[in-house]
Amino acid sequence: MKQRLAQRPDLTFKANIQHGRHSWLRLTPAFSAQLVEAALERAKNKGRALDPFCGTGTTGLVCAEHGIACDLVEVNPFLVWLSRAKTREYTAESLHLARQLALHAVNTVKNSKTDHTLWLPPIHQIDRWWSPLRQRVLGSLFAALHSETFGDESARDLNLIAFCRVAIEWSGAAFNHQSLSFKTHNPSLFEPDEERLILEHFVEELYHVLSTCTSPIGTPVRVFEGDSRYIHHIVPDKYDLVITSPPYPNRISYVRELRPYMYWLGYLKQAREAGELDWRTIGGTWGVATSRLAQWQPESIGLFSSLLEPVVSKIAAHSTILANYVLRYFHDMNLHLQHIRHVLLPGASLFYIVGNAKFYDTLVPTHEILADMMRGLGFYNLSCEPLRKRNSKKELFEYMVSAEWRTP
């Protein structure tokens, strides 16, 4: 049955590319607006929704567009900023100011001389990301967007979204497979024209962003920065509905993919901070996070699910660090599931989109282990529904784990 599942791009970030505000910035592990709509249709009560791992804010935006109150939580401050910007109501005045700021910035860059004091993001090996000419144009544009004459935060945020879209498009990075690679940069005779092309592209991107901003936001979305392992200390309400996609135990680093934006916008100032953030991220293993795994000890004793033990011991036969990685992933998800119970209303529906993983020849059935942990924590009506095949290894799939919390 599983083998017949299709890849279903309509359920992934790919379906968001042409979809209004959902198109603003790509995060490969984002799910599609349609998937959130499908979960909403199945939810019993839609009073107040929560996404504890909100990423780019897809759940919040869909709920807001349907007039459903929704709170979002995210550990990565850049994604908190993006989710807030994406789910905000924009006034005609802000849109007008955003246009004015863009024109001011473009004219400033056109009239500027080479500035040796130009601030550039402290990203490692910046020349692999942008040629010196592109660094100069992007750096001047970024400085001009921070002109003090334009104090409107919403107008600046919209420009910064357009800036991020341009910065990634003109970078040497290729994000078309899991491990990021760099295109070779061949300087050409026509390179000086790039300044004009980058600025034109920036204006086009701003107009694209502005054209999507007019969609009404029925209900304000609140976005909280925090660690959802301790969700009960973060959100101020109780919820009827949880729609979310937590990380999977597949060693993919969100911080790594978002690095260029995070350095430009000042959310990362040095490489070490990226590793520290990844360590707070469930399933993160980048930089310092990998070395800490070797010494990691669980906060509570016990395996939370009898399904986990055989999986972890098979992986441990090849690598203690990877076995610890998988154990820590489920330990952290267990902390999250324990604590989310304190913020759920009786009868709440939960939808968790997760993927399985494979280490050596051992499959990690994330969906089954999470469902088993949820059952042990008192959730009921559990089901695991296969959604789609992932495009990497052939046994990898995504599932919707659904559950309910206590009868009303």
Ligand X SMILES: C[S@@+](CC[C@H](N)C(=O)[O-])C[C@H]1O[C@@H](n2cnc3c(N)ncnc32)[C@H](O)[C@@H]1O
> Rounded to the nearest 5°, which phi and psi values hold at 215?
-65, 130
3-state SS class at 112: coil
Q: Which lies closer to ligand X via its Cβ, residue 34 or residue 135?
A: 34
Q: How far is the CB of 134 from ligand X (least distance, A)?
A: 28
Closest distance to ligand X from the beta carbon of 100 (Å): 31
Closer to ligand X by CB, 231 or 308: give it: 231
Neighbours of 327 (CB within 10 A): 22
The single residue among 50, 79, 199, 209 that binds ligand X, judged by CB under 6 A, is 79
Instruction: Provide the β-strand partners of residue 364.
Output: 357
Count other C-beta atoms under 10 Å from residue 335's C-beta.
20
Asked if residue 58 binds ligand X (CB under 6 A), the reply is yes
| Choice from 74, 205, 257, 278 touching ligand X (CB under 6 A) | 74
50 binds ligand X per the rule CB under 6 A: no
Alpha helices in 244-365 (DSSP H): 254-264, 271-280, 288-293, 308-316, 320-340
Task: Give the integer Cα–Cα distance in Å for 403 and 341.
Answer: 12
Beta strand 181-182 pairing with 344-355: unpaired
Regarding 249 and contact with ligand X (CB under 6 A), the answer is no
Which residue has its beta carbon closest to ligand X?
55
Q: Which is nearer to ligand X, 42 or 110 (CB)?
A: 42
Q: Does 75 bind ligand X (CB under 6 A)?
A: yes
Stretch that binds ligand X, among 176-184, 221-229, 290-298, 355-363 (CB under 6 A): 221-229
Instruction: Return the DSSP state at 12.
Output: B
At its nearest, how many Å lie between ligand X and the CB of residue 176? 19
The correct pick among 282, 357, 369, 371 for binding ligand X (CB under 6 A) is: 282
Say whether residue 31 binds ligand X (CB under 6 A).
yes
* Site membership for ligand X, residue 227 (CB under 6 A): yes
Alpha helices in 115-266 (DSSP H): 126-129, 132-145, 153-169, 194-212, 254-264
- Least distance CB 99 / ligand X (angstroms): 28
The distance in angstroms from the start CA to the end CA of the chain is 35
Binding mask 143-182 for ligand X (x = CB under 6 A): ----------------------------------------
- Distance, in Å, from the CA atom of 222 to the CA atom of 356, rounded to the nearest integer, reads 30
Residue span binding ligand X (CB under 6 A) among the ranges 150-158, 192-200, 243-251, 394-402: 243-251
> Which of 24, 53, 267, 379 is the binder for ligand X (CB under 6 A)?
53
How many helices and strands (H and E) does the chain possess?
14, 11
Tokens linked to 3: 């083998």
Nearest-angstrom CA–CA distance, 130 and 228:
35
- 352 or 379, CB closer to ligand X? 352
Q: Does 229 bind ligand X (CB under 6 A)?
A: yes
Q: How far is the CB of 308 from ligand X (least distance, A)?
A: 19
**Cβ pair 224, 72 in contact under 8 A:** yes
As measured in angstroms, the least distance from the Cβ of 40 to ligand X is: 14
**Over the Cα atoms of the chain, what is R_g?**
22
Select the residue interacting with ligand X from 12, 15, 48, 76 (CB under 6 A). Answer: 76
* Beta-strand relationship, 69-74 and 221-225: parallel
Find the shortest distance in angstroms from Cβ 85 to ligand X. 14
Answer whether 355's CB lies under 8 Å from 390's CB.
yes
Binding site for ligand X (CB under 6 A): 27, 29-31, 53, 55-56, 58, 73-76, 79, 227-229, 245-247, 254, 280-282
